[in-house]
Structure 1
Amino acid sequence: MARRKYMRTRQLKPGMKIDQVIEDSMGRNLVVCGSILDDYIIESLLKLGIMSVYIQDGDDTPEDNILSPAAAQKVEKLRTSDPSKVTLSDSVKKRVSEGIQFVYNNTGSDKFVEAADSITEDLMHAITQNNAIAIDISSLKTSDEYTFKHSVDVATISMILAKHLNMSKQEIYEIGITGLLHDIGKTQIPPDILNKPGQLDDAEFDIMKRHALYGYRMLNSRNEFNNAICLGVLQHHEKVNGAGYPLGFESNQICPYAKILSVADIYDALVTERPYKAAYTQREAVEMIMSMTGELDITAMKAFLESMILYPVDSIVELSNGEKARVVKNNFHYILRPTVVGIKSGKVYDLSKDLNCANIIINN
């Protein structure tokens, strides 16, 4: 019987069978469900910024991924389902994709605010309908275009963090709007700088940094967004140690929305493939976020680390001791170190609490 397995695109191999449809921003099928992957398709997925996909993992499951009787017994006993994650139906993804493209391409439209509100309502509904308190950002995939996808990702992550921090529904909604529009000022950056396929030089980067100020002015001039939203857009690149831009504010001068947006913005940028850089793995990105305690707000960072799911329950991982294992429980204070069961040995590795596992990490 066929099963679905969620895999990072960089781990795909020719011959695997994809178990989902890949669409472009217009809803056209690029890869149909059931297609056999080859090097060209895998490379194309990476170029589109698609970092994870579902593949068919059925009757031809590799022998080394089959649980031994001892392992199956331990998995059945210890398996603890992940908390509810944000999920978007295909129809909502399409609506959100079309909406965010309209927003960024029609900043002067009378329907600009209405479109931003509509997208945020869809995201809010996705969070509240199943009481989602966690997120696997690689499963959202609302657009192939970086700016649009990034805006929706940042909004969704920020809304989950705001919920985790027990903010009001109105504040969660407002931070969603702020996340969607945090890069709106980039519409005023010269295209040759905005779309440069390589690293920006210092002069170009100085121009790029103005997008936060441009965005603030654009929203503030409309008189339809409150001060918290406008300041969140203005300050989303500020750092708590004063090393950010455009104002060089320190922690006590940075608004709460911006502190949350900053974490979401950095993480999503790290895990997204760009023409001038490869995407970091989710684990690498989390480790980098954890290293930025001098730059990011600790409360927002803690909420982020307790909300992300890197290794969904039932996924297969490779341990640094060479053993393959199945994830049976996530430990949300230690998202890099879930509890896993060795597929062949049946050994339980509580990577977060067992000192005997202190030198073992997940490789993939």
Structure 2
Amino acid sequence: MQKIIVPISKCIPGMITSGPIIDLKTGTTIVGQNQELTPEHIKNIQNFVHTDIWVYLDSFNKVWNLPVETIENYKKYSSALMAVVNQMDQKDTSLLDISDFEALCQDLPTDFTANYSLLGCTNLIEQLDCNTYNHSLNVAFISMLICRWCNLDNHLIASAIKAGLLHDIGLLNLSFDPFDSSFTRNADEQAEYEKHPIYSYNLVSKLKDLDPIIPKAILAHHEHCDGSGFPVHISSPYINLLGKILGLADTYDLLRHKHHIFDTLKILLLDLLPQFDPKLLLTFCTNIATYYVGTFVILNTGEIGEVVFVNPQCLYRPIIKINDRFINLYEHNEIDIMAIK
């Protein structure tokens, strides 16, 4: 298991020490080897002149060290969403009482107020299953973040939450699980998959007292600004703002299940740029990238370094610090980030 020195300012609860931390004045051990750092440990260490803090790199907990309570709250919302959506999976949704769904949507921004928590929950990729409900919750979270970072009004944020939670309800009509990574779709199954926004629209559009921009956005969440999307291949002027937000959030979450954050940003800003509203995309990616300053990455050189600065010229090629050496990946195309630790 790889080891790395971290300054006290970068220590987070849950890291595991790979060597003892010693008080240099007295020689006493402050924290022993193979101990999990707690908030009390980190606070106490700051009172001493101490040896280097060596930790196992794998204990960095995938960048996001969320409290257990936040993760459990996320699971609770995912389960609640499943219960609500299963009620909607019937022929006549116009007769449904959606008060439970409305309550869920109202409570969500209160229970997840911090942007860090919203973004952190969407990074629980290896801890939680990738399914319709977790994905839909992630899309709601990401849509909220896009709205906040673009200074959009509270009414649109509320609509974004509802649209995110319901956008993939049509997947329940498919004959296969689209989140099964071991499953390869044939042409007929892909054609069936591309109808799911229509299935979602047909269910959601019949719900009583729902803002009509929500089903329209859901219908368009796989449409692209350049007209290359599906199911009807409309382009930017015909996609409402909420649909553009929903499409960006959906694509980002699907990419993050396959790629680390900097590869995800590269795909969005380089390969998929024509598909999205440029203002929404740049604002979103710029804000996302700043949350990864201070994280450790493994380079294709085999070296491990810390992200110390996100280059505004190229968000997906940051400046990396390796010991006392700085590498600007924007100027070194031969060096790539292979993984985040």
- Regarding TM over 0.5, the answer is yes
Q: Choose the corresponding residue for 2:265, options 266, 279, 286.
A: 286
What's the secondary structure of 1:166's corresponding residue?
A: coil
What's the secondary structure of 1:123's corresponding residue?
A: helix
* Distance change >3 Å, CA 263–CA 360, structure 1 → 2: same
After TM superposition, give the deviation of residue 250 of structure 1 in Å. 0.9
- 1:269 aligned to 2:254? yes
Pairing 1:71-110 to 2, within 5 Å after superposition: 89-107=70-88, 108=90
Partners of 1:197 and 1:317 in 2: CA distance: 28
The equivalent of 1:79 in structure 2 is none
Report how many residues are paired: 282
The C-alpha deviation readout for 1:235-257, integer Å capped at 9, x for no partner, is 10111121212221111001111
- 1:328 aligned to 2:308? yes
Between stretches 256-265 and 317-326, larger displacement belongs to 317-326
After TM superposition, give the deviation of residue 260 of structure 1 in Å. 1.3
Q: Choose the corresponding residue for 2:280, options 300, 303, 307.
A: 300
The equivalent of 2:131 in structure 1 is 146
Please tell me whether the aligned partners of residues 131 and 179 of structure 2 are also in contact (alpha carbons under 8 angstroms).
no
* Distance change >3 Å, CA 317–CA 193, structure 1 → 2: closer
Pairing 1:227-242 to 2, within 5 Å after superposition: 227-242=212-227
* Distance change >3 Å, CA 280–CA 320, structure 1 → 2: closer
Partners of 2:157 and 2:236 in 1: CA distance: 21
The equivalent of 1:22 in structure 2 is none
Pairing 1:253-268 to 2, within 5 Å after superposition: 253-268=238-253
After TM superposition, give the deviation of residue 319 of structure 1 in Å. 4.0
The equivalent of 2:18 in structure 1 is 59
| Structure 2 residues not aligned, in runs of 5+ | 4-12, 21-32, 34-51, 53-63
Partners of 2:178 and 2:316 in 1: CA distance: 36
Please tell me whether the aligned partners of residues 178 and 233 of structure 1 are also in contact (alpha carbons under 8 angstroms).
yes
What is the CA RMSD across the aligned residues, in angstroms?
3.6
The C-alpha deviation readout for 1:186-240, integer Å capped at 9, x for no partner, is 2222357886952222222222222111211211112221111111111101111
Q: Choose the corresponding residue for 1:362, options 334, 337, 340.
A: 337
Between stretches 330-339 and 236-245, larger displacement belongs to 330-339
Partners of 2:128 and 2:335 in 1: CA distance: 37
Max Rg structure: 2
What's the secondary structure of 1:327's corresponding residue?
A: strand
Please tell me whether the aligned partners of residues 185 and 214 of structure 1 are also in contact (alpha carbons under 8 angstroms).
yes
Amino acid in structure 1 at the alignment position of 2:123: S
What's the secondary structure of 1:340's corresponding residue?
A: strand
Pairing 1:14-163 to 2, within 5 Å after superposition: 56-60=15-19, 89-107=70-88, 108=90, 113-127=98-112, 129-130=113-114, 135-136=119-120, 137-139=122-124, 143-163=128-148
Please report the TM-score for the alignment, with normalisation by the length of structure 1. Answer: 0.66
After TM superposition, give the deviation of residue 327 of structure 1 in Å. 2.8
| Structure 1 residues not aligned, in runs of 5+ | 1-12, 17-53, 63-71, 73-83, 273-278
After TM superposition, give the deviation of residue 292 of structure 1 in Å. 1.0
After TM superposition, give the deviation of residue 158 of structure 1 in Å. 1.1
Pairing 1:175-214 to 2, within 5 Å after superposition: 175-191=160-176, 197-214=182-199
After TM superposition, give the deviation of residue 333 of structure 1 in Å. 6.6
Please report the TM-score for the alignment, with normalisation by the length of structure 2. Answer: 0.70
What's the secondary structure of 1:246's corresponding residue?
A: coil
Partners of 2:14 and 2:128 in 1: CA distance: 20
